Structures are given as structure tokens and as C-alpha cells.
Amino acid sequence: MQIAFIGLGHMGGPMAVNLHKAGHSVKAFDLSQDALAKAKAEGLQIAASAQDAVQGAEAVISMLPASQHVEGLFLGKDGQGGLLQHIARGTLVIDSSTIAAATSQKVAKAAEAAGVAFIDAPVSGGTGGAIAGTLTFMVGGSEADLERARPLLEKMGANIFHAGSVGAGQTAKICNNMLLGILMIGTSEAMALGVANGLDPKVLAEIMRRSSGGNWALEKYNPYPGVHENAPASKGYAGGFGTDLMLKDLGLAQENAMAMKASTPLGGLARALYAAHSLGGHGGEDFSSVIKMVQKTE
């Protein structure tokens, strides 16, 4: 297929590369020249603009930072000049950004009016999953549109879930990331406490991983340096999933909780802690760097 891929960050870049390796013709665009250079080195076609990327595309995939970026891309300013005006009728749009469900629904409504199919398909699995092609997709949209997207999603992920209508994928994602943020803070506290008492971090991590405290962070993404060789913690907390991105997702969860009158006290506390961590100058570091807030400094 001829695919337009817009957004080539830590997640989008590897996802686009996997589609290219699967034999699809991928024309990519990003505002970052470094991201474009990396994509070109991997053999992807480079578009001069987002509008250029979608010319002749059978599917458009976007992976952008936040709601305002997705809305701005597809709808433009005040509903004018958006990318939907340049996408051919019948084209399938797959937005894998993590944004507000209401934004996905707004863009989907405009897409329908333009004769364009739209699904929201946020992902879980981190940069490692993006590179390995083992992401989990949480899809909101019609069953028919999901089936159109499935051959592409299968080249980027190992698990595909149909969460419901448009916006449901986003809701599932913010619930997942709220839990992830809470778990990472709890894992960080436990690791820091054990190490402060003289325990070997690798031994402690293995004990908890195989015990009732076991979770994904202990399995694959330990926040303590040196426990997992390929985790961001062992690379100076570079790459991975940024603190500010986690803060954004926790904010989306809290906005949704207020709208639904749902009680999420731990989610609210996690958001406050990540906000403080970001203000402390760690916004660009991987979210597992939150362990720095609870580590002894002596």
C-alpha cells in the first residue's frame, strides 16, 4: 500500500520503518529535520510537507504529541486549511496519538463529512515495542474500518483490541497509562527503599518480580539503573517515554475522571508527583526517572 506517515518521533519513527520493511511504500513527514534524516536513512520516502505526504496515499497514519497537534493537523485553524481537505475520499486515517477522546470524535466527524474513514488507535509497549513491532493497539472505530486497518496494524503490533466506537481507544489508553504512572511510582519507592537498606537492586527486583508485587515495570522497565540493560534507566533516562508525555496522559485521565465524576485519587496524586518532577527539570527524561524523587542522595 501507499502510506503517508506523519510524526516520526521515538514511537512513530520505528512504526513507519516496520511498515517499510513489510513492503509498503511509506512517504513520511515530520517537522524535525533529524527525524526526517533518520527516516531517509532507513529507506523511507521523505515528503516536503504533510500535504505532500498524503498525495496518492491509501492510508494515512499519524503519531503526534497531543490533542492540539492532531486537531491542528487534520482540521487546521478554525476548521480551515486542515489536512482532511487534501486527503482523497475513501482513504483510511489511523491516528495512533494519545489524545482526548473528544478530539478523536471531533476529527472523526469532520473526516466522515469529507468521505474519509477514521479510527483512533493509540498504542502501548514503549519504544522497545515500537522497534520490535510488538505494540498493543487499542482501537476506536467501526469494525469495518478496523478490518481495513488490521493488515497495517499487524506489521507494527502484536496485539490489537477493538475497544468500541471512535474515542474508545483513547479512553482505554488513558486508563492504562494512569495505571502505569501509578505503578512506576510505587515500583520506584520500593526499589529506593530496598537499596537504601543495602539490598542489591537486581536481587530485590527479581524477588518482587516473582512475588505479589510483580508488574510490567519490574518485568521490562525497571527504574533503577543497571537492572535492565536496555531500559532508559540504564541509559541516563534518555529516550523512552518522556516525563512530560506521562504528565500529559495523566492530565487527560484526570480531565476524563472529572467529566465522568469518577474517583481516581491515586491517579490525581500520580499527576501531581509527575508535575513536580517535570518542574524539577526532568520533563525530557524518561518517566521512570521519577525514582529520583524518592532516592537517597547521600
Q: What is the pLDDT of residues 77-121, one digit of tens each?
A: 877 889 999 999 999 999 999 999 999 999 999 999 999 999 999
Q: Indicate whether 86 belongs to any domain.
A: yes
Q: What is the pLDDT of residue 298?
A: 65
CATH of the domain at 32: 3.40.50.720
Strand 25-29 vs strand 2-6: parallel, antiparallel, or unpaired?
Answer: parallel
Q: How many helices (H) and strands (E) does the chain have?
A: 12, 11
- Return the C-alpha cell found at 128: 522497545
Domain count, the chain: 2
Coil, helix or strand at residue 237 = coil
Q: Contact 137/144 with Cβ under 8 angstroms?
A: no
Q: Measured between alpha carbons, how far is 143 from 149 in angstroms, rounded to an integer?
A: 10
Residues 162 and 197 occupy one common structural domain? no
Residue of 27, 106, 173, 248 marked active site? 173
Residues 108 and 45 occupy one common structural domain? yes
Average pLDDT, the chain: 96
User: Model-level pTM?
Assistant: 0.92
Residues 33 and 129 occupy one common structural domain? yes
Three-state SS sequence of 191-217: HHHHHHCCCCHHHHHHHHHCCCCCCHH
Residues 45 and 178 occupy one common structural domain? no
- Using the 3D structure, point to which of 116, 151, 166 is the last residue of a domain: 166
Residues 140 and 237 occupy one common structural domain? no
Residues 68 and 184 occupy one common structural domain? no
- pLDDT of 33 strictly over 80: yes
- Using the 3D structure, point to which of 108, 143, 166 is the last residue of a domain: 166
Q: What is the pLDDT of residue 81?
A: 85
Annotated active-site residue 292? The verdict is no
Q: Indicate whether 223 belongs to any domain.
A: yes
Q: Indicate whether 298 belongs to any domain.
A: no
Q: What is the mean pLDDT of residues 263-281?
A: 98
Q: What is the mean pLDDT of residues 35-55?
A: 97
Counting residues of the chain whose pLDDT is more than 90, the rounded percentage is 95
Which structural domain, as residue segments, surrounds residue 88? 2-166
CATH of the domain at 202: 1.10.1040.10
- Using the 3D structure, point to which of 136, 166, 196 is the last residue of a domain: 166
Q: Measured between alpha carbons, how far is 91 from 112 in angstroms, rounded to an integer?
A: 11
DSSP state of 13: H
